[in-house]
Structure 1
Amino acid sequence: MLGRCGMTALAEPVVLGSVVSSLPVECDGAFLGTTDPFSGLVDGGWSSGLPCPWETLALGDSLRPFGFPHELGMLLTAQGVCWGRMALYRRAVSFSRSEETAFRRMAGDLTAELMRRALRIPVGRVPSDHLGVINLGFDGSVDSINDQGRELLDFGGAQRCPDNPLLPIALRPLCAGLLRGSRRGVMLLPDENLGWLQVHGTVQHGVGRRCVTVSLQAARPLQVAPILLAARGATPRAVQVTLRVLRGMTSAEIAAELKISPHTVQDHLKPVFTALSVNSRRQLISSLFPTLKPYDLC
């Protein structure tokens, strides 16, 4: 059993020790995954006491065949956005209702830390014309990679595959899902060194085999803006309104497009302005993207 303090090794890579270093529930294995709010795909993960790679769990597979029939899981959500997921596993004894309640009390602190993590990732650090291309075999091996792709991977700070340190581990769930028929081929990857990256994967059908071509490039600011706003507690409607402000639309234009009154537009913007400590739309842009100019947003 991991016991009530057996998650330190799992927590250290994401600086979540203060949140999950003391589990209220005993378990034989545990998994914590961080989720890309843009696509819902798991972009990082840490596990302890489990007989298989966490990428298996990222695709929703059961651990019952591995001798873990009892699972206690939860999604880490706020304002309708999923920031991650966590699960505990047992071999013999099922989880009680009181244990489930105690476990779910952790959700608020875990979610808050993952939201803070998103705000620490820079935007616009990689030149927009940088395009890395990686061709991966069915088994996840690298068939080929262009020079810009190798440069991005060499300087990247995202969690890496343990059996192939060159690759961000987020590519595993993305590619495995595509090969299983998933249509979710685009995700945003937070990288502490490179900033937010857009990752796009497509399945290629060759003679007698399938592979996945993955492109890496800087995420556009307006792609990242919904994540940054949600991480500051903005409601889904406030995000819709603020995105239109960032595109340069007036309150009247936003009201007409969303079929609400101009007064309601201002009501949605007020808490966003308060959260960012700004008083104008220009300040809103500079607060969200301090290193960018307004013409760089698109």
Structure 2
Amino acid sequence: MRRHGGVTRVGGIGDAVARAAQSARSIEDFFDAVKRVVRPVLRFDVYACVTVDPQTLMNTGGDYRDGLPPAMMPRMLDIEYREGDANDLSDLAARPTPVGLLSRETSGNLDLSPRYRDIMRPLNFRDELRVLLRDRHGAWGALVMGRADDSPPFGSPELAVAASLVQPLGSALRRLHLTRLAEENVSETAPGLVLLDGDHQVVHATPTVAMWFDDLVHTDDVPSGDRGLPPAVYAVAAAVRAAGAAPSHTSWMHSRRHGRVRLHAWRLEEPTTTSARTAVVVEQAGPAERIALIAAAYGLTPRERDIMALVLRGRSTVDISRSAGLSPHTVQDHLKAVFDKTGVRSRRDLVATLFVRHYLPDMTPAASAPQRRPSV
């Protein structure tokens, strides 16, 4: 196991990480820059930088090169999104400072945590530090770090450093989500279907599934037979099997070649003859995911998001007023808030700006697509 030793000054680490993150031109650059700067200070033995959907906190991708063995990922995501545990992302999201140390959250009794019992202890890890990366508009990702049994424990200085990363890295990730959205291209690959058993092992997959996942970020150095499925697939499969969950659940993830990919999972009420418990369809994401992410990144309220979507469909103020049950004056107030948050002055500017930033690349060959950086 690699050890990332060395000690640097804790003071100023937040500023250094913020500068590195702001200079990143892609989420992949962001992963590398953050890891490079925090490694000497937080001295982790296992590390993952994860992106999440700001609406649901569902896993949408990340850098797992220094993370858990791929064989452990189905169980890790099952605990996160189906079973639940101390210090999970939904727990962090409810805190004023979304930083947590598993040993503290369990009052030192780590055996209370299924994540510790089933994953950390077998791998000889003593603790896990998590940082939810969010700004005033929502949560955009997380850092997950672990230390081995023969490493010193995480302490108050590390927690202070982690707290200093929350807002600057959250804002940088929000910007990069919009940048990535503006650069996506439409895929012509046919949808794929994956059937998973009760342990999230693949029972059957159509041939097109591999085509959706063959270009995932940071898997080039992992043998194809050891990669398994992307964590986001295990996450949505686990979520649909959580107690009280609806029989289906939709999420998304990112692929370099195909852009935003929709994941739609169904819980199979009766096991098939192949013992499949969950079905996941993989296909190109549509306008709903795109609008939801744009709305979250610009900090639109649910009502503002709905009105923006109607404006993009060409609906008049009177039409919006009738369908939303609002007075025309209230609709105009919401529209003004949308204009202010997206940096435009009129309906025409709103439609044109969002079209150029986030829809035109889908209709333009990659070589000639406009390379505009969205204002945030």
Report the TM-score range of the alignment, normalised by the length of the smaller protein: 0.7 to 0.9
1:221-275 per-position Cα deviation (integer Å, ceiling 9, x unaligned): 1331121232234345533432333344444554566666645544443454345
1:212 aligns with 2:278: yes
Q: CA deviation at 1:169?
A: 4.4
Query: What corresponds to 1:62 in structure 2?
Result: 115
| Partners of 2:27 and 2:177 within 8 A in 1 | no
Decide which of 213, 228, 231 is 2:297's aligned counterpart: 231
Match runs of 1:9-20 below 5 Å: 14-16=28-30, 17-20=32-35
1:29 aligns with 2:46: yes
Query: What corresponds to 1:116 in structure 2?
Result: 175
Q: 1:251 to 1:289 in 2, by over 3 A?
A: same
AA aligned to 1:246 is L
Q: 1:238 to 1:78 in 2, by over 3 A?
A: farther
Query: What corresponds to 1:140 in structure 2?
Result: 201
Q: 1:27 to 1:222 in 2, by over 3 A?
A: closer
Q: CA deviation at 1:72?
A: 2.4
1:197-227 per-position Cα deviation (integer Å, ceiling 9, x unaligned): 2211224421361243322222221331121
Query: What corresponds to 1:75 in structure 2?
Result: 132
| Partners of 1:132 and 1:216 within 8 A in 2 | yes
Query: What corresponds to 2:156 in structure 1?
Result: 97
> What TM-score, normalized by structure 1, do the two folds share?
0.74
| Partners of 2:28 and 2:217 within 8 A in 1 | no
Aligned length in residues: 287
Q: 1:140 to 1:43 in 2, by over 3 A?
A: farther
1:2 aligns with 2:16: no
Query: What corresponds to 2:310 in structure 1?
Result: 244
Bigger relative CO (Cα 8 Å, ≥ 6 apart)? 2
Query: What corresponds to 2:86 in structure 1?
Result: none
| Partners of 2:267 and 2:277 within 8 A in 1 | yes
Gaps of 5+ in 1: none
Q: Flag the structure with higher helix content.
A: 2
Gaps of 5+ in 2: 9-16, 81-113, 364-376
Alpha-carbon distance in 1 for matches of 2:68, 2:348: 52
Alpha-carbon distance in 2 for matches of 1:179, 1:160: 27
Percent sequence identity is 23
AA aligned to 1:234 is L
Q: 1:263 to 1:71 in 2, by over 3 A?
A: farther
AA aligned to 2:288 is L
Q: Flag the structure with higher strand content.
A: 1
AA aligned to 2:235 is P
Q: Give the aligned CA root-mean-square deviation in angstroms.
A: 3.9
Q: 1:2 to 1:265 in 2, by over 3 A?
A: farther
Alpha-carbon distance in 2 for matches of 1:70, 1:40: 22
Alpha-carbon distance in 2 for matches of 1:140, 1:114: 31
